[in-house]
Amino acid sequence: MRVTEFARAGGVTAETVRHYTREGLLRPQRDPCNGYQLYDEEALGRLRFIDCLRSLGVGLPEIKQMLYWADQDTSTLVDKFTPLADQGCYIRLRIQELHAIAQWLESIGTDDDLSLRQLIEDLGSVESTIVAGGHYSSNS
């Protein structure tokens, strides 16, 4: 896939792909006929992994290190990258929030419509959780 098609498939902009490529996070092949950068399915997996980690607030240097470990097929990755392991609770909370939003979207137009007000209340009632700075912590 060329840059634009690859970016579309990954849900990012072409400039984001170019930036990640310049940073060494993505390694495209070169088309021998025209020199265009070409990305394959493995690169798409890397792009989605990078985008997911970025959405969790993980910085590019940490992502670069993780990709290096993956390229080296290093086991015990999570043990080495404690900051990502610490994101587990935050990730579970985000899943709950996204699930609530998905349920609200699915209910639109049905007899048991959830109101937007109810969705907002539901999101605010997640028991004993605070999300601040991209991290989850408990009030207990």
pLDDT of 135: 39
The pTM is what? 0.68
Class of domain 3-71: mainly alpha
Helix, strand, or coil (residue 52): helix
> Which segments of the chain have a pLDDT < 70?
74-83, 111, 113, 126-140
Residue ranges covered by each domain of the chain: 3-71, 81-127
pLDDT of 133: 41
> DSSP of 66-129, one letter per residue?
HHHHHHTT-S-HHHH-HHHHTTHHHHHHHHHHHHHHHHHHHHTTSTTPPPHHHHHHHHHT-TTE
pLDDT of 134: 42
Token code pair at residue 86 = 């610490």
